[in-house]
Structure 1
Amino acid sequence: MLGTARDARADSDDDATPVGGETIVIEGQAPAREGARDRDRALGDAPFVTILHPDEHAATASVADALATAAGVQTRSLGGPGAFESVSVRGASPGHTVVLVDGVPLARLAAVTTDLGRFALAGFSEVELYRGAVPIELGGAGVGGAVNLVTRLGRGEAGDRLHASMGVGSFGARHARVHYGDDHGRVLSSTTLGYQGATGDYTYFSDGGTPLNRADDRYEVRHNNAFDQLDLASRVGDAARTRVGGARVAWKQQGLPGST
């Protein structure tokens, strides 16, 4: 039986005739793969490191909004724009996640939660997220991990020197930001000035603190919910980033709306 099947298959192959057809040529450029932007850097970094780019998010996005898109990260906000925001990595408490700006920790004491709401995402070139272990150059501390906010230095990704953005939204939301960076031979410089604010006078339903009594149910306008914040950052360093210096100034004024 095996021999018969083998002979029949051989006869079938001999009788087969080639089928002709035209050659199809497709010209185009393959889409960039996810993570290709940091491919060279990823070869030297551990797999628990994620690089987040502000230009891939909305201009009004906060640092916490960008971190929320990464795996293993949970963020918590106590309100709308300008409110207190914290980050938790791999289930650790927010105080166990170190937050740094250009490698400088924002909290001198351990287990102190850093407010990410006072930082605008557009004011940085990238956000480095470390899950678990923290590099020695960043202090090596942090049970949950670390978040390093890197200030832009030199020109933008597209080689632009000047970049400006502004916009308005509902309930008095507004923002404006100007960035200028340039290359001066071996020296790179960068300056960023940004403003963000909102009135926050939205309408909400209130039961008057008496859920069983409908007589005092009404719609009210949120009061004392406005905020204004300014940030100014300047940085100078060499092209190799071996010597970098700079300063950052932030100011924020915010009301306390109270419970609803």
Structure 2
Amino acid sequence: MLLEEFDPERRAVINPDQVVKPVENMPEVAVTCFSRKTFERMLEDLDTEIITWNGTANGEEPVYRAVYKGMPIALFILDVGAPVSVGMLEEVFQMGVQKVVIFGTCGVLDSRIEDCSIIIPDRVLRDEGTSYHYAPPSDEIEVNQKSMKMFTELLDELHVKYTVGKTWTTDSFYRETPEKVKRRKAAGCICVDMECSANAAVCDFRGKKLLQFFYAADNLDAEEWDSRSLANHSRMEDKNRIAAIALEAAVRM
């Protein structure tokens, strides 16, 4: 099978260092998310400057430099979907980023998980294609192993509730059928996302430190799909708080 032919060769035909150069004064730590509205609100609270650009086929996105609690931090937005998320990470790593905090929404497979609450994945079911080019084939991959203790201690200090568990990363959100949801729940998954397994794989392959966490959004654990706070305009105060938590985590990485 195609997804079983992982090649560990470090050099590919096209490599990040052929299209991106290191950026002077690039912070070692970066914070990124997938929601443009959340990202824009995070920028409003910080003194930022554009230091470079991260391009995709859909156009260029600015990479900002900010100082938070005395620490320089890079800020940029990730596009949704495993292939483009990994491509953008590859390029910021080539620019000089060594550690990255990624946060975004996920769908819950357990209705007991409160809307907008924090979920920290510890394992990921790899139902996408990108990660298989960065790690040997397997059904699951570990994530956050180097960041879990730091992040849970931070959340405990802040008295923020959270859930740790397995997520299901899938490429096709319109094909999350009832039967697949049932199977993923039986496999121990508590939520579903579109990038986590691929992000974990590229960070492991490139030797970068990753913290990825979610805030619960739509509920798939019901007779009918419930969008809850999935929309960008919903529960903005809670999402601002989650962005602030990401910045605090970056300082501790």
Considering Cα pairs closer than 8 Å and 6+ residues apart, tell me whether 1 or 2 has the greater RCO: 2
Q: TM-score, normalised by structure 2?
A: 0.23
Bigger fraction of residues in helix: 2
Structure number, greater radius of gyration: 1
Bigger fraction of residues in strand: 1
